[in-house]
Amino acid sequence: MGGVLLRTIDPSPREALARDYGVTTKELFNIIFTSDSSQKAESGNLSEEDHWNWAFETLGVKVEDRASFLSQWWAGDRMDYELLAFINNLRPACKTGLLSNAWLSTRDNIAKHWGGLEQYFDVAVFSAEVKMRKPAPEFFHWLLDRLQVKPQEAIFVDDYGVNIEAAKALGMVAIKFCSADQAKQDILDALNHTSHS
C-alpha cells in the first residue's frame, strides 16, 4: 500500500521536519519506516505508540511538539484513487488482494483519512494484524490461500526490490512499482500474456 497506493506527493513537509531535527530526509524516513522498531511494529510485536515514542526520543521531539510532528509527517501523502479504480475494474475477472507491511492501526487510519480500502480488494491484510511481514514467504502464502490462488496464477506489485525477489522466488509474476501508469500497463501486459499462454 505505502509507496504504491498511498504515496508522498509533496515531500516538503518531511524535508522540513528533517531540517528541524538535524537529520537527512532518508535518515528520518528510516527511523519512522524501516528501523528495527518500525519492523517490530509491522510484525505486531511492538505497539505503534511504543514505536513512535522511540522515534520521538531518537529525534529529540518534545512531548508538546509530537502531535504537530505527526500531522506534518503525513501532510504530503495522497491516496491514488485512479489506481484503486483500476484495481477494482479488474474484478470480477481477477481476484484482488492487498498485502501491506503496516502497523496495527493502519486499517483504521486509512478508513478515517481516505475512506478505507476493503471495497477495492477481495482480501486486504496489514502485517501487524497477522504478525507476519513481507518478504516472509508465509505472509504471501497467507494471502494466496485466502484468495484461493496459486503463486503462478498471481501478479504481485511492490515498490521494494526485496519483496519483488521474494514473490518471484515463489513463482509469482512480480512487477516493480515505479509509477502508476507503468504499473497499470505492466499489469495489463501480464494479464494479456497469461490469457494467451
Tell me what pLDDT residue 157 has: 98
Encode pLDDT of 96-148 as tens digits.
999 999 999 999 999 999 999 999 999 999 999 999 999 999 999 999 999 99
- Answer for the pair 3, 159: CB distance below 8 angstroms, yes or no: yes
Chain mean position to CA 99: 8
* The pairing of beta strand 77-79 with beta strand 6-8: antiparallel
95-128 as b/e, with b when 16 or more CB fall inside 10 Å?
bbbbbbbbbbebbeebeeeeeebeebbbbbbbbb
Percent of the chain whose pLDDT exceeds 70: 98
Q: How far apart are CA 125 and CA 136, in angstroms?
A: 14
Band the pLDDT of 193: cuts 50, 70, 90: confident
Tell me what pLDDT residue 102 has: 98
Alpha helices in 155-196 (DSSP H): 161-169, 180-195
Please name which of 144, 157, 159, 151 lies closest in space to residue 185, comparing C-alpha atoms.
157
- Answer for the pair 127, 48: CB distance below 8 angstroms, yes or no: no
Query: Is the confidence at residue 197, as pLDDT, over 60?
Result: no
The 3-state DSSP class for residue 62 equals coil
Q: How far apart are CA 11 and CA 22, in angstroms?
A: 16
Beta-carbon-side half-sphere exposure of residue 56 (alpha carbons within 13 Å):
17
What are all long-range contacts of 173-177, with beta carbons under 8 Å and residues at least 24 apart? 177/3, 177/4
